Amino acid sequence: MTDAYRLKDLIDDRAEAGVFRVSRSLFNDAALFEEELRHVFEGGWLFLGLASQAPERHDFFTARAGRVPVLISRGQDGELRCFLNACPHKGARIAPFPTGNTKLHVCPYHSWSFDSAGICKNIKWQKSGDYADAFHEQDHNLVQIPKFGEYRGLLFGSLNEDVPSLEEHLGEARKMLDLVVDQSDRGLELVPGRVRFTYAANWKLQLENCTDQYHFTSTHPSYIRALEDRSRKNSAEAVQSSLSSSSFWKAGGDEIVAGSFAFDHGHAVAWGKMDVGPSLPLYDRADELAKRFGEARRNWMFNMRNLTVFPNMQIAENASSQLRVIHPIAHDMTEMETWCLAPIGESSAARTLRIRQYEDFFNPTGMATPDDTAVYEECQRGLSTREPSWLQGHARGSISTTAGGNSLSDSIDMLPAFSVAGSGQLADETLFRSYYRAWAERMKGALV
């Protein structure tokens, strides 16, 4: 592509006039998608995984940064490092498996080998290879990615050296991550059983949907009916879902029961007030968490929170807890990796409840994920047309949006860039704007 895209043709950002619109081209333009991979996913911070995925020396796991395969490995010295998962000889992946433990990675093509700290330990038949001195002077070790960092057991990396610090990138969204990490003094782990699936639509539909409260009653009526039916049949079963006793999505009056916070650098969270009750796996430690962190922070741990850390990480805490990682494949194809996310050391009863809720709602065989992916694909079909250019899905909440925080964010010492709070039917859409502003910032090299 020789000509840069014009930002004004893609995003109409006139918030002071109550206008924020995005073009269909953001979802249906294949050439623009290639620029997104280069600038958004390969040009800035991305979530890569959890430190607990490689807890012991020589443990490793693999991930992707845009199109680029990476290897996260814990060396003999106990340090985590992130490398390009590519042999410097011919470029073959040296670690083809998702996880493992090995002191030595051996390239399957020509048997060059590397230790768990990325040091080249052997080049097959090197002495008889008649290499020139220039070859011997080269660095044959695995290549570390330009930026790699950890926040409380959450691992992030960037293929671009010229990025802000990880702390700056996460900003005030760290307060939302803290609510997840602090559920255990031992950190987070992934419940065994990674799920990977694709849907035939653009990655930004998933980006938005995680924090879209407007769709819930329309897209998931079968789930709602199932909860109501269980509640009628057996009051004990009514606690099996965290949403069964929640009314934030039903409330249409003036009571503040739901809202959103938007942060700098494209992060956002949708939240809904929920009771501290036995419907959540955390309930058996409710008193302990209140003593450790105070009632305000403890109550926030029980609230429904769907968090996006731009551009590829999502943590959904409503029905159970889910970690989602977004992998764009094409402008109309996205791969998702998902796990049940859990605090390390929770009781067996709490873990059982967490898994049952996860299966019920989040699993691809559950009652929510198939609904969502089906409507993504319906959206993609409808977005295939070029006209009308502008979508109207970013307007709800415009006159309720407030710069900074509110009393609810103040209670956990968090200062978002923007906040919205109101009834369950307000279903704010203005938090999506933070995604597209961060998108535009990363896409500067492709935009005029």
- Give pLDDT, residue 385: 86
Domain count, the chain: 2
Residue 245 banded pLDDT, cuts 50, 70, 90? very low
- Give pLDDT, residue 234: 67
- Give pLDDT, residue 253: 59
Inform me whether the pLDDT recorded for 248 exceeds 70.
Answer: no
- Give the residues across from 258 on adjacent strands: 272, 422
- Give pLDDT, residue 203: 98
- Give pLDDT, residue 244: 44
Instruction: Provide the 3-class DSSP secondary structure of residue 23.
Output: strand
Cβ atoms of 27 and 202 within 8 Å: the answer is: yes
In this structure, the answer to whether residues 293 and 405 fall within a common structural domain is yes
Tokens of 317: 């805490």
Q: How many Å apart are CA 427 and CA 212, to the nearest integer?
A: 7
> Which residue shows structure tokens 């009056």?
253
In this structure, the answer to whether residues 120 and 175 fall within a common structural domain is no
In this structure, the answer to whether residues 249 and 315 fall within a common structural domain is yes
Give the structural domain span for 127. 48-151
The pTM score is: 0.93
Residue 103 makes CB contacts below 8 A (sequence gap 6+) with 58, 76, 115, 116
Q: How far apart are the first and last CA of the chain?
A: 14
Of 90, 118, 151, at which residue does a domain stop? 151
Residue 241 banded pLDDT, cuts 50, 70, 90? very low
In this structure, the answer to whether residues 275 and 393 fall within a common structural domain is yes
Asked which of 121-135, 211-225, 429-443 is least confident by mean pLDDT, the reply is 211-225
- Give pLDDT, residue 235: 54
In this structure, the answer to whether residues 265 and 375 fall within a common structural domain is yes
Based on C-alpha coordinates, what's the Rg of the chain? 23
In this structure, the answer to whether residues 244 and 311 fall within a common structural domain is yes
- Give pLDDT, residue 221: 85
Pairing of strands 320-330, 333-343: antiparallel
Inform me whether the pLDDT recorded for 243 exceeds 70.
Answer: no
Q: How many Å apart are CA 212 and CA 260, to the nearest integer?
A: 10
Question: Is residue 231 classed exposed, middle or buried when 0-12, 13-18 and 19+ CB atoms within 10 A define those classes?
Answer: middle
Q: How many Å apart are CA 92 and CA 110, to the nearest integer?
A: 9
In this structure, the answer to whether residues 134 and 275 fall within a common structural domain is no
Top mean-pLDDT range of 3-7, 44-48, 278-282: 44-48
Inform me whether the pLDDT recorded for 40 exceeds 60.
Answer: yes
| Chain mean pLDDT for the chain | 92
329, amino acid identity: I
Question: Quick one: average pLDDT of 276-287?
Answer: 92
In this structure, the answer to whether residues 78 and 210 fall within a common structural domain is no
In 3D space, the residue among 426, 374, 371, 425 whose CA is nearest the CA of residue 398 turns out to be 426
- Give pLDDT, residue 238: 46
Residue 98 preceded by cis peptide, ω within 30: no
Question: Quick one: average pLDDT of 316-324?
Answer: 92
Q: Which residue has the higher pLDDT, 275 or 190?
A: 190
Degrees, nearest 5: CA angle 406-409-410: 80
In 3D space, the residue among 84, 71, 78 whose CA is nearest the CA of residue 55 turns out to be 78
For residue 58, tell me if it sits in a domain: yes
Helix axes 295-302, 286-293, angle to 10 degrees: 130
For residue 318, tell me if it sits in a domain: yes
Task: Determine how many CB atoms are found less than 10 A away from the CB of residue 186.
Answer: 13
- Give pLDDT, residue 342: 96
Residue 228 banded pLDDT, cuts 50, 70, 90? confident
- Give pLDDT, residue 80: 98
In this structure, the answer to whether residues 338 and 219 fall within a common structural domain is yes
Cβ atoms of 412 and 4 within 8 Å: the answer is: no
Per-residue model confidence as pLDDT tens digits over 50-65: 999 999 999 999 999 9
What's 124's domain CATH number? 2.102.10.10
Residue 1 banded pLDDT, cuts 50, 70, 90? very low
Question: Is residue 398 classed exposed, middle or buried when 0-12, 13-18 and 19+ CB atoms within 10 A define those classes?
Answer: middle
For residue 75, tell me if it sits in a domain: yes
Inform me whether the pLDDT recorded for 370 exceeds 70.
Answer: yes
In this structure, the answer to whether residues 259 and 378 fall within a common structural domain is yes
- What number of residues does the chain have? 448
- Give pLDDT, residue 254: 63
Question: Quick one: average pLDDT of 242-257?
Answer: 58
For residue 316, tell me if it sits in a domain: yes
Per-residue model confidence as pLDDT tens digits over 68-115: 999 999 999 999 999 999 999 999 999 999 999 999 999 999 999 999
- Give pLDDT, residue 387: 84
136, amino acid identity: H
In this structure, the answer to whether residues 54 and 191 fall within a common structural domain is no
Inform me whether the pLDDT recorded for 264 exceeds 80.
Answer: yes
Question: Quick one: average pLDDT of 212-229?
Answer: 85
For residue 41, tell me if it sits in a domain: no
Q: How many Å apart are CA 99 and CA 225, to the nearest integer?
A: 39
What's 249's domain CATH number? 3.90.380.10
In this structure, the answer to whether residues 143 and 207 fall within a common structural domain is no
Question: Quick one: average pLDDT of 408-432?
Answer: 95
- Percent with pLDDT over 90 in the chain: 81
For residue 11, tell me if it sits in a domain: no
Cβ atoms of 228 and 260 within 8 Å: the answer is: no
- Give pLDDT, residue 194: 87
Q: How many Å apart are CA 84 and CA 62, to the nearest integer?
A: 10
Question: Quick one: average pLDDT of 219-243?
Answer: 67
For residue 366, tell me if it sits in a domain: yes
For residue 18, tell me if it sits in a domain: no
